[in-house]
Amino acid sequence: MAADYLLQLAVLHQAEEFSVWLTSGERDRAACLPDGPSRTRFVVSRGLRRQMLSACTGRPARTLEFEEDGSAKPRLVDGEGWDFNLSHAGEHVAVVVRRGAVGIDLEHHREVRDQQGIVSRYFHPDEAQAWQRLPAELQAGAFFRLWSAREAAMKCAGLGLARGIGVTRIDPGFVETGAAIARVGERIFAVNVLAAPAGCTLVVAISLADDS
């Protein structure tokens, strides 16, 4: 996958650094959140995306406007083709920006009960077969790679889990290579595992069509 995107990772203790990029309205929203991870995550993610999109578009950070209705992927108003996506896990926030559709998923490795059942119910049959063929000691890591790849592709397509889970397929070779083609409905994406903080998996998806 060509690295035609800008990716940045931040940690929650950088909240003060990123708060300077927020609008007054965002600062007010942050102040209304309980003091703790949810507030600092809001500050870091909002500040980081403004900083990155300002650098890419050449527009002042506080003038950027976003459409967010909770049911669709947030988008930059008058983005001139610029897209962004973010994900968080534990102390880390990841934001990716690209001229063209992009999605990202950052997952913290944790104990997941009944991985076999989740794979069988929610993964594409081709993905499930590839995962089941792996040695048992490799299945846990592959589970998070596939999960992240599916999430990143669905987010790149602008879909959430409810609409995307049944129409998403990651090429089964992904479980071993960490790079593959993904299909979400009729759309095609490239998904790639990237270097991630310890104990995490990070996957980025980009559109392979010029429809974004």
Do 18 and 89 fall into the same domain?
Answer: yes
Q: Give the pLDDT confidence score for residue 1 in this predicted structure.
A: 43
Domain membership flag for residue 170 = yes
Domain membership flag for residue 53 = yes
Rounded to 5 degrees, φ, ψ at 47 are: -65, -40
Instruction: Give CA–CA dist 74/11, Å, rounded.
Output: 21
Q: What strand order describes the sheet that includes 187-194?
A: 102-108, 200-207, 187-194, 179-184, 168-170
Which residue, of 48, 80, 100, is where some domain finishes?
100
Enclosing domain of residue 156: 105-207
Per-residue pLDDT of the chain (212 residues; tens, 9 = 90+): 446 999 999 999 999 999 999 999 999 999 999 999 999 999 999 999 999 999 999 999 999 999 987 667 899 999 999 999 999 999 999 999 999 999 999 999 999 999 999 999 999 999 999 999 999 999 999 999 999 999 999 999 998 778 889 999 999 999 999 999 999 999 999 999 999 999 999 999 999 985 44
Do 129 and 178 fall into the same domain?
Answer: yes
